[in-house]
Chains A and B, each alone.
Chain A
Amino acid sequence: MKYHLTFRYTFVLAVILLFCSCKGERKLPYYGMRDTKTVTNNDGSTTVDTIYQTIPAFKLLNQDSTEITNDTFKGKVYVADFFFTSCNTICPIMHRNMKKIFDNYKDNADVMLLSHTIDFKYDTPSVLKKYAQKLGVDGPKWQFAYGAKDTVYTLATKSYLVSVAQDDNDKQGYVHQGFLILIDKDRRIRGAYDGTNPEQVAQLEKDIPLLLAEDKS
């Protein structure tokens, strides 16, 4: 009789555990500042909506000296970062990793990459073009953006939440964080990954399909 009871408890416990392990689909978080908006429903009642931080409108030049704006990335999921071509510390690692993503999504037009240079003195579009060609990624999928210092630095620190700065004490003249920022189709920040850390880059590779699936449903 006692055994019988033990079995029953074990069974109940097993069922509970089984259900606990069935987690719902993982959803990527929203980063940045939030705001609220009160919306009036059809029946006259009101509810509060969350407004997430989005990447504001920008206008930059790409490696072909063509203007790129938000519309270039309209309806796309994209990975953004900040670098400069003469950087030989973290940038080669970041771009080695981004190139893997570039190769994996070669045939998927919904995924793009956007690298902003923070070296406004030297990295003109023609320098970026050469860099892209040498990296073997020149084409519309991976955009290399050039802009005035204020434009790019504000975009980095205020919108993509990546710290960048000019530093005359540094041997290379610039210091910046190596984050790869994942942006969804509605210009919201959905992930930030250290582009020099293999585990975090692996996480990014797992998160991109999630984001692509989310936008389809």
Chain B
Amino acid sequence: MRKLIILLSFSFTVICIFYSCQTADSVQRDAYYVNGRDLYIRHCQNCHGEKGEGLGELTPPLTDSIFMKQNKTQLACFIKNGVSKPLTIHGKVYEGKMPDFNLAPIDIAQLIVYITNGFGHKQGMYTPEQVAADLNKCR
């Protein structure tokens, strides 16, 4: 009996150790997420709110996962160039203008990691290279 308990607790500890091991990728993603949150607070939170809830019909919320997925390659353009066309989010049309934010690709990548992994989303890593590629294709 005693042996069994020791064995169980030992194997539990080993599993925990392995489970808590993070891959280099997820460490990088977490770093991006944390930096992205700081950038979000500085540049976006005024209008989009602490929980990405938006503000009335003036500012759209950032909680529409389907929109986030479908427009993922447009997010960098939205941030860099602003938005002046109407956007449909959660089935509601938002017509207001979003100002442009002249940020470096690395900052935009961190912001995108934050807003596509916070607010109930889980879309993983996004790199500055992807951002640079997206920016070349802005409509």
Contacts and interface: CB of A to CB of B under 8 A. Distances in A.
Given A92-B46, A134-B58, A136-B57, 17 more contacts: A88-B46, A88-B47, A89-B46, A90-B46, A92-B55, A92-B58, A92-B59, A93-B46, A95-B55, A96-B49, A99-B56, A133-B57, A134-B56, A134-B57, A135-B57, A135-B58, A137-B56
Nearest to A91: B46
Interface residues of A, number: 14
B46 A135 contact: no
Interface of B: 46-47, 49, 55-59, 96, 99
A95 B49 CA distance: 12
B99 A88 contact: yes
B65 to A, nearest CB: 23
Interface in A119-143: 131, 133-137
Contacts, number: 28
B57 A92 contact: no
Contacts of A137: 56
Given A131-B58, A134-B57, A136-B57, A92 B96 contact: no
A88 B47 CA distance: 7
Nearest to B95: A134
Contacts of B99: 88
Contacts of B47: 88, 92
A99 B49 CA distance: 13
A78 B46 CA distance: 24
9 smallest beta-carbon distances between A and B, as pairs: A134-B57, A135-B56, A136-B56, A92-B47, A134-B58, A92-B46, A134-B56, A93-B46, A92-B55
- A88, A99, A137 — most chain B CB neighbours (10 Å): A88
A134 B96 contact: yes
A191 B58 CA distance: 28
A96 B55 CA distance: 7
A134 B96 CA distance: 9
Contacts of A89: 46
Contacts of B57: 133-136
Nearest to A172: B99
Contacts of A90: 46
Contacts of B49: 96
